[in-house]
Structure 1
Amino acid sequence: MTGFIAVLLYVAWMQLLTLSYAFPRVPMALFGGRKFADWERAEVNRDPPLMVRAKGAHLNCVENFPLFAAVVVIAALMSKSPVVDGVAGFILAARVGQGVSHLISTAPAFVLLRATFFLAQVGMIFWVCYRLIA
């Protein structure tokens, strides 16, 4: 998998997570007695737990996406795309693994699993940076 394909799939994953917590809000507002503007910015979050976890998984994606996209683009600009292409699929898999474990549960074992997937991504991005400057 190329780095560019991994970036596109990463974007698709983030969009799916966004829809998983944003889309259910429409019927809740239309039929569930919730106001359209009733979405936690100024009040306590009353969303179902899965929607809260989906939003958290999406926000977790946002934290690493700029870094991952940057190393993919920088590698291409340096004519060193193979450096990132070799690990891009693993970085994406770790991101999806982190998101899925976030969606499943907030139990300590799943939080540890999420942290492991996160640290794997950070480590691989550091490794790509090292390889690009070495």
Structure 2
Amino acid sequence: MSTSALVLTLFIAWTLVLLVLMEVVRSYLVLSGRTKSNEFRPDNANLSPFLQRLARAHANCIEGLPVFGGLLLTAIATGRTGLTDSLAPWLLLARISQSITHLVSLSVFAVNIRFFFFFVQLAIAVYWTWALLVR
């Protein structure tokens, strides 16, 4: 398996980890009688700030998957993972770091750090797009 394929799989796994965590907490809230099963909003707006951040961190992964995953998949499908393999682990590290920062805090400092991690992903995606189109 190429590094790009591994990173794509791990990106999907990270997205799944966030989803499972959210559903475990939601299930606990329902089973403990703290929330009715039909009271959940997609963004968890009626729940704790942590659950709201968790929903948003998961949504960020879902929103990024077509772009970042699509570029990795294009490289894999065209046999050009040499263009993506070296930066793929950095993309994954930036994605996980962005999610964790999102889960921890919404302070100005944390939001700035989170943006930095997103910017790293964006810069890698722009480079990959250029490299896949031009090379």
Q: Same fold (TM over 0.5)?
A: yes
| Matched-pair identity in % | 26
Contiguous gaps of at least 5 residues in structure 1:
none
Give the ranges of 4+ consecutive aligned residues of structure 1 lying more than 4 Å apart after TM superposition.
none
Equivalent residue runs for 1:65-84 within 5 Å: 65-84=65-84
d(CA) in 2 for partners of 1:133, 1:4: 20
TM-score between both structures, scaled by the size of structure 2 = 0.90
Over the residues paired in the alignment, what is the CA RMSD in angstroms? Answer: 1.5
User: Residue 86 of structure 1 aligns with which residue?
Assistant: 86
Deviation at 1:131, TM superposition (A): 1.3
Residues 1:122 and 2:113 are matched in the alignment: no
Residue in 2 that maps onto 1:25:
26
1:33–1:77 Cα change, 3 Å: closer
Deviation at 1:48, TM superposition (A): 1.6
Q: Do residues 97 (structure 1) and 63 (structure 2) align?
A: no
Return 82-91 or 1-10, whichever deviates more: 1-10
Contact preservation (8 Å) 1:71, 1:128: yes
What is the CA deviation profile of residues 46-83 of structure 1, one whole-angstrom value per residue up to 9, with x for unaligned ones? 21221111111000111111111211121123321111
Q: How far does residue 27 in structure 1 lie from its aligned partner after superposition? A: 2.1
Tell me the SS of whatever aligns to 1:86: coil
Structure 2: unaligned runs, 5 residues or longer: none
Give the TM-score taking structure 1 as reference length: 0.91
Distance across 2 between alignment mates of 1:76 and 1:45: 38
Matches within 5 A, 1:30-41: 30-40=31-41
Structure 2 distance, partners of 1:130, 1:40, is 39
